[in-house]
Amino acid sequence: MPATVNADECSGCGTCVDECPNDAITLDEEKGIAIVDNDECVECGACEEACPNQAIKVEE
């Protein structure tokens, strides 16, 4: 299952964007949160490990 973002916890810092090897995450500047492209996400978990707020999860 692709990564999911908890909008209440996401600060929009962009750390997950920088860590994603597939460029599957972008920042929605209007909402100030990370957005995951489910078609591009390879479920590697790099974003989950990098997030300082634990706002992004990769579920099995």
**What's residue 16's pLDDT?**
97
Backbone φ, ψ for residue 5 (5° rounding): -110, 130
Sorted by sequence, the CB contacts under 8 Å of residue 25 that are 6+ apart come out as: 3, 16, 17, 34, 35, 36, 37, 41, 47, 56
pTM summary value: 0.91
Using one digit for the tens of pLDDT, what is the confidence trace for 19-51?
Answer: 999 999 999 999 999 999 999 999 999 999 999
Residue 28, number of CB atoms within 10 A of its CB: 13
